[in-house]
Each structure stands twice: as C-alpha cells, then as structure tokens.
Amino acid sequence: MAPVWTNWSGGQQCRLTATVRPLDDSGVSAVVRRAAERGQTVRPVGAGHSFSALTVTDGVHVDLSAFRGVTASGGDPARPTVRVRAGTTLGELHDELATRGLALDAPLELAAPTVGGALAVGMHGSGPSRGSLSAAVARLRLVDGRGRLRDVAAADLDAARTSLGALGVVLEAELAVVPAGRVRVTREPRPVEEVLRSDFWSAHPVVEAAVFPSASTALTRWADPLTDAADDEDDGEEEAGERSLGVTVAGATGRTALGGAVVVERALPRLVPRFNRAVSRLARTVSASGPMHRVLSSPPAVRYEQTEWALPRAGLAAAARELLAALADDHLEVGLPVRLRVGAPESGWLHPAHDRATAWVAVRVPRHTDHGPVLERAWRVLRAHGGRPHWASRSDWTVEDTVAAYPRYPDFCRVRDDYDPDRVFTTPPLAAVLGD
C-alpha cells in the first residue's frame, strides 16, 4: 500500500508512490534519475514542519535523514564558516556549533526543522538586523533535476538560498556562523501601543511580541548579549530563571498561557476573550541567561495552523492594528496570540523579506478548531498591507502574486530552467505559487 505522509500540524496529507532514504550523494542522484525516467515528481522532505503544501505529492519523497552533521569548519577566525549536511536538524546544528565555540547569527528557536527545509523556506527568527538562515549561506551543493551533482555557482546563489526545493535536493550548505556567546533573555508584559512604536523594535538585537486580539497588554521577549563580567554574575541565575519560566503565565511569549487558552477554548469557547485578557494582565517579567538557542527555545505547547506574512517594516503598526481589530470585531478568537517579529532585508530572490526591512505577522489557530475564517481574514488584511506570505505557512497566494511581489522572479525562473528543465521537482502546489 502507498505510504501516507502527514505534516506536523496534520493539515496536509498525501499518498506517496514511495519515500526513499538515500545514504550518499550518488543515491540521491539515482533516485532523481529513476523518478524522472518514470515520469514521477520528486520532493525533498525534511521534518514536515511546513504548514503549506510544499511537500505534498503523489510522487516520491526524498528523505535526507542519513545526511546529518557538520562536516567541516573553517573560514577567517573573524568570519567563521561551517559545512553542514542538509538532513541535520537545527537542534543538532546548534549543539555541534556549540562544541566548536560557534553559533548561528539567526535566532532560530525551534530544534526540529532540518537545515534543508529551513533554507528552502527562508526560516527566520526576530531581530531588527538579523537575517534568516538562508542569509548565512555561502555555498550550496545539490542534486539537480537531471540527477547531476552541482556546486551552485555564485551567480545563482540568491536563487538557491531560498528555493522552495524547486531547484534540486540540497545535500550540504556552507554557512557563515558567529562566535558563541551568552545572552540574557527577558520576557515582559508591555502596553500594546508601546509595542506598535518603531523604537520598541530597535532597542534590542533580538526582540518579539505576541498580542491577543482583545488584550491591551502584549507579551514581549527580547535578548541582549552578556558581557564577560555580567556572564559570571549570571551563572546560577539561569536555572532559577528557567524554573520561574515554568510557572509564569507569560512563559515563552505566552506559551504556558497558550495551553490554557486551548483548554478553555475546548471547554467553554465564550470564555476565551476574557481568559486572553487576563493572561496578558497577569503576565510578569522574568529573565534567564545562557546560549541564545537554549534561552529562546520554546517547543510548542499545542499543534496549530499558521499564516505568517512579511510586511514592509514601516507598515507594522497599521497592519497589526487593523488585523487585531478585524479579528476582535468579527469575533474570530484565535486561541493563540498574534505573533509580531522583525527581520533584516534578504538578498534571496524569493525570500519574503527580499530587499526590504521586514515585520513578520503570524496568526495561529489551534488545530481541531475552525481555522478557515481566521486565516482568510488575516490573508485579506496582510495582503492589503503589502505582505508576502512565509512559504511554509498557509495562504491563498498565487503565481500572479509572486510575479507582482518579487522583482527578481524572472531571474529565478532562468535559474530554475537550468537546474530543473523537466520540472521533476514541480508539483501542483508548487506550480500554484511558482508557475509551471
């Protein structure tokens, strides 16, 4: 019987011809060639953490879980680099970098996604001048649509660093990394109006906020680097900080609260708005220190569907106000707070933050609740504010939108014609946003 695949949220499913787990580069080439000969499509698959249908196919999944680990480190001591295999999870990458005294510049908090998947969709954290994982790519090696092993030419790198898996199966990436350091992360309730001012977003290198539609208080989180002296003082506090995170209602931008909201939602939906307002009021300040990937880490308390859009940063306040009002006015209770983040302009031709300082706005709805009306309302507002959706999130985006919103799309198409002329990697969901 054909294997059935389901993504993390449970919202995407497909019946595959096969899942193949090659053990080396020539095995990946063989899978692509064989599928092409049989007229089957091929989709590389990572941890399945995308909410969109990017990996949905009735063809072949290439699972790179045998391609794990950091294979080399080097570069200038002031600009270190590592080579990492694409099936490595971000959690494994953080740990391997830490043993070398290194870290990612991108403040990525989730351990499960793979390097290949995170690059393909442009996975990002939040900081006014922080890029995504894709921004760190210095070189890429992949197997293209004809089964050829290729080192991506420098001229094609901005197509390949965020490619939606349309150019080939990435095997290995060389990434720019930074010396490891410690940070102090602070979680604090702040008035929503303060969070919507631009100075809130420039005060810390890593900063984000989460807002329930019916609340006047936002749950915020930021991280600042620790000096050596402060670092010594903080030793021992980290544990206390992390313990207090367990009981604070703010949790990881409201993570503890989120679980509660969902429980309330299932039991008594009409209590949710009141509960959400109370959560925001009761939240208190907590802090913890340690390596960035550890103090930011916040495994999700519940499974949910998500739409996240990249907007011009200057439009964040207007878009967020309109979105929060629309959700409240339409009585569309989201169950989870709307998440606000920021990022630097990206060079990747298809990165949603391409060429503009960006604000990210994410609307999340617990699975098993009726997410359709909430997501559709969010799409309407965020599209009208010049948003481009995160490729991994749910949206109604079309190829016409891509053509209009991405000035380098024609260049991407030229590279795609070279790497996958026969469209071995193109499924209907991919064609819907990238064209045939």
Contacts with ligand FAD by CB under 6 A lie at 8, 43-50, 54-55, 64, 86, 109-110, 113-114, 116-118, 120-121, 123-124, 164-165, 169-170, 300, 390, 392
CB of 339 to ligand FAD, least distance (A): 9
Nearest residue (CB) to ligand FAD, 234 versus 371: 371
- The nearest distance, CB 294 to ligand FAD, in angstroms, is 16
Nearer to ligand FAD, 75 or 300 (CB): 300
Are 54 and 7 in contact by the 8 Å Cβ rule? The answer is no
What gap in Å lies between CA 330 and CA 182, rounded to an integer? 43
d(CA 349, CA 353): 9
CB closer to ligand FAD, 48 vs 290: 48
**Nearest residue (CB) to ligand FAD, 273 versus 312:** 312
Closer CB to ligand FAD, 33 or 277, in the complex:
33
Instruction: Tell me phi and psi for residue 105, to 5 degrees.
Output: -75, -35
Residue 362 CB, nearest approach to ligand FAD (Å): 8
State the nearest-atom distance from the C-beta of 325 to ligand FAD, in Å.
Answer: 25
Buried b / exposed e over 324-355, threshold 16 CB at 10 Å, is bebbbeeebbbbbbbbbbbbbebbbbbbbbbe
Cβ of residue 195: shortest distance to ligand FAD, in angstroms?
18
Q: How far is the CB of 67 from ligand FAD (least distance, A)?
A: 8
* Six-digit token string for 266: 């299932």
Contacts of 192 (CB under 8 A, 6+ apart): 211, 215, 216, 217, 218, 324
Cα 164 to Cα 107, 226, 240, 326, 416, distances in angstroms:
21, 36, 41, 31, 11
Closest separation between CB of residue 225 and ligand FAD, Å? 20
Measured from the CB atom, the residue of 166 and 283 that comes closer to ligand FAD is 166
User: In sequence order, what are the residues at sequence separation of 6 or more whose Cβ sits closer than 8 angstroms to the Cβ of residue 331?
Assistant: none
Q: Which residues contact 116 (CB under 8 A, 6 or more apart)?
A: 44, 46, 64, 86, 87, 165, 169, 170, 173
CB nearer ligand FAD, residue 6 or residue 398: 6
Decide whether 153 or 268 has the Cβ nearer to ligand FAD.
153
**43: part of which helix (H) or strand (E)?**
strand 42-45
Q: Supply the minimum distance, in Å, between the C-beta of residue 55 and ligand FAD.
A: 5
For residue 230 the two structure tokens come to 């402060």
Shortest Cβ 382–ligand FAD spacing (Å):
15
Letter string b/e over residues 232-246, b meaning 16 or more CB atoms within 10 A of that residue's CB: eebeeebeebbebbe
CA distance to 83, 85, 152, per residue, from 73 (Å): 6, 12, 19
Between 67 and 234, whose beta carbon lies closer to ligand FAD?
A: 67
**CA–CA dist 363, 334 (Å, integer):** 8
